[in-house]
Chain A
Amino acid sequence: MDLKLLDRLTQTFGPSGYEDEIRAVIAEAITPYADETRVDALGSLIGIRHASEGAPGAKRVLLAAHMDEIGLMVTHVEDKGFVRFTSIGGVRAVNAIGGRARFAGGIIAPIYVERREDASKVPELQHLYLDVGAVDRDSSPVRVGDTAHFVGPLVSQGTRLVSKALDDRIGCYVLIEVMRRLEARAHEIHFAFTTQEEITLSGARTSAYRIDPDLAISVDVTGTGDTPKALPMDVSLGQGPAIKVKDGGMIAHPAVRDALIAAAERAGAPYQMEILLGGTTDAAVMQLVRAGVPSGCLSIPCRYVHSPSEMVDTADVENAVEILLTFLESSL
């Protein structure tokens, strides 16, 4: 694994809508491996690999990983300088308390919760605040509308990787690796690093509209059923990438799902079948553009999603790359 690249990917600023910095990092990483690159109207970065001249049965394939991460936006600065915020994407109060937010300009702020009358009740975001170190509103270095992401450095321990924003910078990593290693030119492949997945999925929707592919696959994280008292889910860390059957927003096209299974078997890679009850990915909207696009998803099992300490397994990541490489070499 290229931990240096992964570190840059996970740590770079890029909450939904504010992806300029992470796009620059990814653009630099993919430029050597793309025939052309472009940026969409909503900021998604597309790297294109053409098929060889006259490749028989060449399809236009769209592979998508979202480069935006969850974050916060300032809603109000109080008289005494404490900062109230709203979430960008799915932020759970319990995962934020005690953590740190980092603003675009670099300011770090602890995230904490008001004293509550009934401490046994689950806190909500409206009860939380940031402490940027200002003593009053006028001297606050932040204002309404400013954005921040969460602090969560990348750690590698054995086969486990822990970091904030593995959702979905690990998907971006997989796509970059595929681009780097892909030699076959059987198909025209659009590698899309999409924006705004965490809030509206609008980056993927509009990118897919413009590309008008024959099939689409998103590479994103999914949950696992292997932690204490977890809801039953037939996916575990380290048991292979998950091929999506269904999630909260879509049913994978059976032909795409089966083609991914076939690729996994040909590659001799382990894989799991995934049904995710809550949550969805870019594939859910790519599926519905224009007259419909057969779509599926290859997922990286991930524990503690949307916390500053998401965890994946390196074997799952590497096997995902293998499966995609084999998939892209075959006729579709």
Chain B
Amino acid sequence: METFELLRSLSEASGPAGYEGAVSRQIEALWRPFVDDLRVDAMGNLIARRQGTGPAPRRSLMAAAHMDEIGLIITGFEGEFLRCHQLGGVDRRVLLGLQVWVHGRHRLPGVIGSRPPHILPAAQRQSIPPWEELFIDVGLDADVLRDQVRVGDPVTLQQPLLALKNGRAAGKALDNRTSVAALTLALEALQHREHTWDFYAVATVQEEVGIKGAITSAYSLAPDLAIALDVTFAKQNGDGEAGVFELGKGPTIGVGPNFHPQMVERMREAAMTEEIPFIIEPLPGSSGTDAWGIQLSREGIPSGLISIPVRYMHQPVETVAIRDVERAGRLLASFAVRLTPEFAIRWEDEA
């Protein structure tokens, strides 16, 4: 599977938080050849299982990548214009002049219009309008509009995936379709490698509005170990050194209270054994990812985090190095195949 094309099909699919149906179906089709069974749970999480080769009862590893993207939701009408608000942490600074899809009765192209500078008071030229002053224009008359669109209809960004120089790609929803791509590549790799543990691939929902899918799917699966895949901040124009990671230098492995030290250790070993470049990412508090919720499921789950560096997060021009996506997939597969039937997590001070 060619990675850019895989990423393109995932990036361009529609799946804002709470409305993941379309991207879920896309992922299901991609995963079917590599898994033993697939189901969708009450919240909409897509849960796939690869059975391990070890003797029953087998323990399980859950790998979660959220499939929802940030988007907008229609909140009301103002004549022939639509009012909207965010689904997830939308950066209002990128909305003006943006082209969107309004998913009403049909998929309608729209634009969030910007008043021209000629009639804007000087003070407003740099200011970003509040939500009440932003309108989506789909070019329909008011009465037709009411028939085509309802309050609650979701809106996604229009942005085809672009191939930039040096193996980089730019587009919308790379948070977190890059991770879904990496998880897909891992499933493909596991098809040709032996793993004794059961492997659950979960495309979670509603991460962007509260890591909701992760919480309920972890409870349902009760895995022995879990790894979340998400994105982290890639170094970009204006950054210092702290808290950012260079594109193309590999995925990051999270270290901090969200992650069991032995998970971190084994992830490092898995990377080093297969010569996968990685960077240790310090996360002193909440990781802001599915791992934060999964760790607290039931009696607690030892968790890890693999993150893919992405520039311009939560904007339609998120940018990633394709090989970091591939490396993340390889790291996950490498970790999974190294789990032996005898392996157990233990703290150093346990008897």
Contacts and interface: CB of A to CB of B under 8 A. Distances in A.
A273 B150 contact: yes
A266 interface: no
The listed residue with most A CB atoms (<10 A of its CB), out of B43, B78, B152, B215, is B152
Contacts of A231: 132
Given A231-B132, A234-B76, A275-B85, A245 B151 contact: yes
A277 B41 CA distance: 27
Given A273-B151, A288-B215, A291-B219, A245 B83 contact: no
Given A251-B206, A251-B209, A288 B152 contact: no
B18 A288 contact: no
A273 B216 CA distance: 27
Interface residues of A, number: 24
Contacts of A293: 42
A246 interface: yes
A312 B75 CA distance: 22
8 contacts: A234-B76, A246-B18, A274-B151, A275-B76, A277-B75, A287-B43, A291-B217, A292-B45
Interface residues of B, number: 28
B12 to A, nearest CB: 23
B3 to A, nearest CB: 32
Q: Across chains A and B, which 10 residue pairs bring their CB atoms closest together, nearest first?
A: A292-B216, A251-B18, A245-B152, A291-B220, A273-B151, A292-B43, A234-B76, A292-B42, A275-B75, A291-B219
A250 B73 CA distance: 13
A288 B206 CA distance: 11
Interface of A: 225, 231-234, 245-246, 249-251, 253-254, 257, 273-275, 277, 287-288, 290-294
B152 A291 contact: no
A257 B150 CA distance: 13
Interface in B7-23: 17-19
A231 B210 CA distance: 24
Contacts of B209: 250-251
A254 B206 CA distance: 13
B212 interface: yes
B62 to A, nearest CB: 13
Given A232-B132, A251-B206, A290 B76 contact: no
